[in-house]
Amino acid sequence: MLGPGKADLLEHIAETGSISGAGRAMGMSYKRAWSLVEEMNAAFREPLVLSVRGGASGGGASLSDTGEAVLAHYRKVVALAASAAKDEIAAIRALLSDIPDEK
Amino acid sequence: MLGPGKADLLEHIAETGSISGAGRAMGMSYKRAWSLVEEMNAAFREPLVLSVRGGASGGGASLSDTGEAVLAHYRKVVALAASAAKDEIAAIRALLSDIPDEK
């Protein structure tokens, strides 16, 4: 329903105020960005992204209240998961040939 | 370094005793399965998958001790993460248009 790619797209839409701007920021085609937005809007009870086509400004997009809520929940999922699994992730990292820096 | 696809592949290699068998079980080409195994083996200090080519049986593959350890850690990561994020995930599910069954 939602993964890192779609969550990033929601964040970029909130930041840039447009679907095309968000796609551009992520190196994603406009078509792909739209298709992901349509998938998300169809998957949830209320659309996550509200968009206005056309007009002088070329249209724009923003997150609905549901979109903001879903994104906030998603961020918490990631934070809670990372924190709970910290030691196990460290154990896997320790077995890597090049131990990556902590981000 | 490791995600659900690679972890599943490790599990199937352990079950089937071969990389081609594991790929088949996952609807993945032999070439793709081998390429993922090579990535994993290169990423870790010790190879995760040990393989024997050829012979009467057509070769076989198994997980190394490191492979077993990494898979066990990965399973714990998933279980701990799911458990920690349970309420937030439920909050997202409740906003879906068709609430999927719990698996």
What are the boundaries of each domain within chain B? Answer: 4-93
Taking the C-alpha atoms of residue A96 and residue A90, their distance in angstroms, rounded to an integer, is 10
Would the CB atoms of A73 and B84 count as touching at under 8 Å? no
Contact present, B23 and B36 (Cβ < 8 Å): no
Distance between CA B45 and CA A63 in Å, rounded? 44
Residue A40: CB atoms within 10 A of its CB come to 20
Reading chain A (103 residues) residue by residue, the pLDDT tens digits are: 788 899 999 999 999 999 999 999 999 999 999 999 999 999 999 999 998 876 665 679 999 999 999 999 999 999 999 999 999 999 999 999 976 665 4
Residues of A with CB under 8 A from a CB of B: 1-2, 42-46, 66, 69-70, 73-74, 76-78, 80-85, 88-89, 91-93, 95-97, 100
Q: With 70 as the cut, is the pLDDT of residue B54 above it? A: no
B43 interaction partners in chain A (CB closer than 8 Å): 96-97
pLDDT band at B3 (very low <50, low <70, confident <90, very high): confident
ipTM surpasses 0.85: no
- What tokens appear for A42 in the block? 């169809």
Could you give the dihedral angle defined by the CA atoms of residues A36, A39, A43 and A47, in that order, rounded to the nearest 10 degrees? Answer: 70
Q: What is the CATH number of domain A4-93?
A: 1.10.10.10
**C-alpha to C-alpha distance for B71 and B10, rounded to whole angstroms:** 7
pLDDT interval class at B98 (50, 70, 90): confident
List the beta strands (DSSP E) in A7-80: 49-52, 60-63
- What distance in Å separates the CA atoms of residue A30 and residue A25, rounded to the nearest whole number? 11
How many Å apart are CA A66 and CA A46, to the nearest integer?
7
- Using 50, 70 and 90 to split pLDDT, how confident is the model at B44? very high
> In terms of Cα–Cα distance, which of A79, A36, A35, A44 is closest to A64?
A44
Chain B nearest-CA distance from A59, in A, is 27
* pLDDT exceeds 70 at position B56: no
HEC per residue, A10-37: HHHHHHHCCHHHHHHHCCCCHHHHHHHH
